[in-house]
Amino acid sequence: MAERVQLTTKEILEKDFKTAIRGYNQEEVDQFLDIVIQDYEALQNEIERLTQENQRLKGGQNGKTRVRQTQAATANVNYDVLKRLSNLEKAVFGNKYAD
């Protein structure tokens, strides 16, 4: 099961940190959060792209399976027709012609 995403890019962008006497440099934190937001958006876009590709491939896989099943059924019908034709030739022309 996929893990739930806890933060959105908007939540990261709007996050305020309390300042303390010896707190972090606010500009450095903001620059770092900007990078985190960009990476986060890129990952979300990649997840969406892969999800769509996965759905597309699953749809294609089902189509290929149906084609294979149809081909197998056709091969069975062709085999049955050839077998009947062979039996008919034996009946009409005798074993001499069929061998």
Total count of residues recorded for the chain: 99
Q: Which residue segment(s) compose the domain that 94 sits in? A: 25-98
- Is 78 within the bounds of a domain? yes
Q: How many C-beta neighbours within 10 Å does residue 70 have?
A: 10
Q: Cβ distance 31 to 19 under 8 Å?
A: no
Residue 49 amino acid letter? R
At 51 the pLDDT is: 92
- Is 9 within the bounds of a domain? no
C-alpha 62 chain-centroid distance: 11
- Is 16 within the bounds of a domain? no
- Is 86 within the bounds of a domain? yes
- Is 18 within the bounds of a domain? no
Number of separate domains in the chain: 1
At 71 the pLDDT is: 72
CA–CA separation, 25 and 4 (whole Å): 31
Per-residue pLDDT of the chain (99 residues; tens, 9 = 90+): 457 778 888 888 888 877 777 788 788 888 888 888 888 888 889 999 999 999 888 887 666 666 677 777 776 666 676 777 777 777 777 765 544
pTM: predicted TM-score of the whole model, two decimal places: 0.49
At 49 the pLDDT is: 94
Outline where 18-94 has alpha helix (H).
26-93
